[in-house]
Amino acid sequence: MRLPIVPLAHLDDLWFQVTGTLCNLACTHCFIRCTPHNRSFGFLDLGTIRRSLDESVPLGVKEYYFTGGEPFLHPDMPAILELTLRYGPATVLTNGTLFNDEILRRLRAAEDASPYSLEIRVSIDGYRRTENDAVRGHGTFDRILCGIRQLVEREFMPIITVTKTDDNQGDADLFDGFVRLMRENGYTRPRVKILPTLRIGAEAERRRGYGTEERVSMEMLEGFDQGTLLCNHARIVSDRGVHVCPILIEASDSRLGATLAEAEQPFALTHQACFTCYQYGTICSNPTSQSHDV
Amino acid sequence: MSECRKIAVFGGVYNNHLALTAALEDARRRGADTAFCLGDMGAFGPHPDRTISILREHDVQCIQGNYDNSIGNELPDCQCGYTDPRDNHFARISYAYTLANTSLTNREWLRQLPAQRRVRLGKYRVFMCHGSPRRTNEFLWESTTSTHFLEHLCRNYDADVILATHTGIKWHRPLADGRQFVNVGVLGRPENDGRTNVWYALLSAESDFQVEFVPVAYDHERLAAQMRSENLPGEFVATILSGWWTTCLEVLPAKERRRGRY
Ligand SMILES: [Fe+2]
């Protein structure tokens, strides 16, 4: 059988699995089962990140993204973002529950000193307390909203990132609900991004895994705009090396090399999570960076 | 490849035929030898055919934007890639209006426009495109485009200067080895700064490369009146009259978004 292989067109987005699989929360839909005890992937230190940033310059990387785990468990997260913003635009994906004045003061100063945007994506999974807390854990709704209010006070405009955990809920309803919730919390110009769930990791048990027919075939890639797939223009650095994308880091074939140059090789879409990426497209990128074929 | 001395470059006319006329007069007065339009003739404003006949009459050297590709090929949408339902709602209104009011001949003209142009400006090899050299609808915002990415584009496309538009906000960044990137801005709507003027870029390279962004004042109240009589959304009219964007905000990065009002 021929495999659906996606080449790296260009390394546009460089991701960092900055806190490995360690998170202060244990969401029931997490596709890599991050928890307060999961140390299967470790933290990246500032030196490792600096080496990757330096390697990314001649490769012409456009943007940098940080995820975990929860990135703000990293004691050096402000320093990491300060450094990154000297190289290019930075985006950090957070649950918004670990901010304090000192962190936010440094982030504000770092963005102000840079020509680049610092995007902060805050995850929240229901515009009602019960819906969110069922997925992200008891009490998290109020803690996340508190984090969003802190960001807004510091003149950040976080991208509210919502995973659609209920298939029966319409996008428009979700969107309106979050816009309303944000305005009630003083965020007058909310930015909202709605994502599908990835049916792997904890999510496979919360609801269901993929059906056998849900995978990407060779034929499906014919005439398909591969620019919508993250593996076509991104790679992610973990403490084990460089992997194809943030969703598949636990898969053994996802590690493509020790350096960015080694990880430029193509990737075969044999994983079922690839099906979600194929269906929805650009699920990991910011709305400002989306583009598709014309 | 044509050789130029001083050129006027703009993008995103968005049916703003009054600003287009004002910019072309201004550029001639300032001694530009050629005018280039980097695409997106339609959207937003009134009477698409007026814009296209001005571009053709004045022999403006045009390239095809995502909007022109869509209108020319009668595609279902403008390929701006919005996901926000409100942005999509307004994008659909202006697209349907522009498609319905662009003549068959002008659709054909839009369809045959080239996706890129190369000219020589002094010693500089200039590459003109709509979004980016590699993708018509790629957004190159000042705050989300690293310098080394732009240098990579120059290397890949054998260019000393890359000119683009598509985002709606002008910017310039000098690169290594004297190379340059310029987003020339748009003539169609003000750039979300509370001022009603629009912008184009004047480029020359008699010795060194020079870029001047030129503000264009035009009769924006007359445009607003025409938009109203064509029943275009009040939100669009408000942008023309106030200088603040009211729609299509989701694609703005944090820094650019923060500077606006909405
Ligand atoms: Fe465009």
pLDDT, residue A290, reads 63
Residue B20 lies in a domain: yes
Give the tokens for residue A127: 């515009």
Of the pLDDT bands very low, low, confident and very high (cuts 50, 70, 90), residue A294 is very low
Percent of chain B with pLDDT over 70: 100
How many Å apart are CA A224 and CA A278, to the nearest integer? Answer: 9
Query: What distance in angstroms lies between residue B35's CA and the mean position of ligand 1's atoms?
Result: 19
CA B160 to chain centre: 21
* Residues of chain B found within 8 Å of residue A88, distances taken between Cβ atoms: 145-149
Contact B149 A60 (CB under 8 A): yes
Cβ atoms B57, B111 nearer than 8 A? no
pTM attached to this predicted model: 0.96
The angle at the Cα of B179, spanning B161 to A88, to the nearest 5 degrees, equals 105
Of the pLDDT bands very low, low, confident and very high (cuts 50, 70, 90), residue A286 is confident
Provide the mean pLDDT of chain A: 94
Contact B149 A89 (CB under 8 A): no
Phi, psi of B147, rounded to the nearest 5 degrees: -65, -40
pLDDT tens-digit readout, B161-205: 999 999 999 999 999 999 999 999 999 999 999 999 999 999 999
What is residue A238's three-state secondary structure? strand
Contact B255 A117 (CB under 8 A): yes
- Which CATH number does A5-293 carry? 3.20.20.70
Residue B182 sits in a domain whose CATH number is 3.60.21.10
With a cut of 80, say whether residue B1 has pLDDT above it: no
* Residues of chain B found within 8 Å of residue A192, distances taken between Cβ atoms: 84
Q: Residue A18: which of A181, A237, A235 has the closest Cα?
A: A237
CA B117, A293, B50, B229 dihedral sign is negative
Whether residue A119 lies within 8 A of chain B, CB to CB, comes out as yes
Give the tokens for residue A273: 């999570």
pLDDT tens-digit readout, A123-144: 999 999 999 999 999 999 999 9
Residue B258 lies in a domain: no
pLDDT tens-digit readout, B41-76: 999 999 999 999 999 999 999 999 999 999 999 999
pLDDT tens-digit readout, B92-140: 999 999 999 999 999 999 999 999 999 999 999 999 999 999 999 999 9
Give the tokens for residue A175: 């969107």
Cβ atoms A56, A65 nearer than 8 A? no
Interface of A with B in 53-82 (CB under 8 A): 56-63
Say if residue A208 is exposed, middle or buried (CB neighbours under 10 Å; 0-12, 13-18, 19+).
exposed
Residue B28 lies in a domain: yes
What is residue A189's three-state secondary structure? coil
Q: Determine how many CB atoms are found less than 10 A away from the CB of residue B207.
A: 8
Give the tokens for residue B224: 């607003």
How many Å apart are CA A124 and CA B122, to the nearest integer? Answer: 54
Closest-CA residue of A relative to B252 is A288
Block residue for tokens 């590459």: B127
Of the pLDDT bands very low, low, confident and very high (cuts 50, 70, 90), residue A291 is low
Percent of chain B with pLDDT over 90: 92
Contacts of residue A69, Cβ cutoff 8 Å, sequence gap at least 6:
A17, A18, A19, A20, A21, A22, A23, A34, A41
pLDDT, residue A74, reads 98
Residue B140 lies in a domain: yes
pLDDT, residue A1, reads 64
Which of B71, B78, B110, B152 would you mutate first to test chain A, the one with the most A CBs within 10 A? B152
For residue B108, the enclosing domain spans: 2-252
Taking any CB pair shorter than 8 Å as contact, residues of chain B touching chain A are: 66, 69-70, 79, 81, 83-85, 131, 134-139, 141-149, 151-153, 155, 249-258, 262
What's the domain count of chain B? 1
Residue type at position B123: K
pLDDT, residue A140, reads 98
How many Å apart are CA A62 and CA A286, to the nearest integer? Answer: 13
Query: What distance in angstroms lies between residue B191's CA and the mean position of ligand 1's atoms?
Result: 14
| Phi and psi based region of residue A225 (left: phi greater than 0; alpha: psi -120 to 50; beta: remaining) | beta
Which of B144, B162, B167 would you mutate first to test chain A, the one with the most A CBs within 10 A? B144
Q: Residue A56: which of A103, A99, A94, A88 has the closest Cα?
A: A88
Whether residue A116 lies within 8 A of chain B, CB to CB, comes out as yes
pLDDT, residue A292, reads 52
Which of A156, A157, A294 would you mutate first to test chain B, the one with the most B CBs within 10 A? A294
Q: What ipTM does this complex have?
A: 0.95
B107-145: buried (b, 16+ CB within 10 Å) or exposed (e) per residue?
bebbeebebebebebbebbbbbbbbbbebbbbbbbbbbb
Q: Residue A62: which of A249, A285, A215 has the closest Cα?
A: A285
How many Å apart are CA B133 and CA A58, to the nearest integer? Answer: 18
* Residues of chain A found within 8 Å of residue B179, distances taken between Cβ atoms: none
Residue B261 lies in a domain: no
Residue B186 lies in a domain: yes
Residue B259 lies in a domain: no
Domain boundaries, chain A: 5-293
Give me the helices (H) in chain A, please: 46-59, 77-84, 101-112, 129-136, 140-153, 171-184, 202-206, 273-280
pLDDT tens-digit readout, A59-108: 999 999 999 999 999 999 999 999 999 999 999 999 999 999 999 999 99
pLDDT tens-digit readout, B73-90: 999 998 888 888 888 899
